[in-house]
Amino acid sequence: MTDPRPHHYRFVHRELARQVLEFGPRVATPAPDGGSLLPVVTRIWDDLGRTLPPEERLPAHGLDCRHLSVDGHPMLLVTLPTPVGATEAHFAAAVHPRGSRTVRYVTLEHAFSPFDGSPGTVLGEWTAESHLNHGQGPSPVAELFAASVAGLVTPKKRGLWRR
């Protein structure tokens, strides 16, 4: 198992999480002019890099983002540079669940099986208070992650006799 690289880890789990939770639902909603948030996301990546020793800085190669709507939930999907270490992320999403006043920040983290060391993923979430582990995630494919995020934030339907 490989330890996470500081630049990658801090960007996903600290800086981007903080920005998303601070700015709220407007991050998940496209601007009226259709402008991309990629320059802002790249600036956050680069600014963080400048605080690290040169040997810990990573290029932004592979960093991307786009707005989409999955099952009626507006979402900013961020693609990260290819993860290497455990807990580095393939993707992060700022999602504004339909009918909610808040935004949720969900990650698809690179992981290794504790049994045989094989690679996999974990669906994680940062709140203002803590990190949540939602268990095994999908294959690191953007559409599969977006569908998993939508499934996570969609209220579960209850049976006919349950309240």
Pairwise pLDDT comparison (15 vs 116), residue with the higher score? 15
CA-to-CA dists, residue 65 to 55, 93, 142, angstroms: 26, 9, 11
Mean pLDDT of the chain: 92
**Mean of the pLDDT values across residues 2-14?**
95
Section 143-155 average pLDDT: 94
Task: Count other Cβ atoms within 10 Å, centred on residue 153.
Answer: 21
Higher pLDDT, 111 or 1: 111
Q: Which two tokens stand for residue 137?
A: 């995630």
Candidates 142, 121, 37; CA nearest to 28 is: 37
Give pLDDT, residue 139.
95
**31-89: per-residue pLDDT in tens?**
888 788 999 999 999 999 999 999 999 999 999 999 999 999 999 999 999 999 999 99
What's the rounded mean pLDDT across residues 113-121? 88
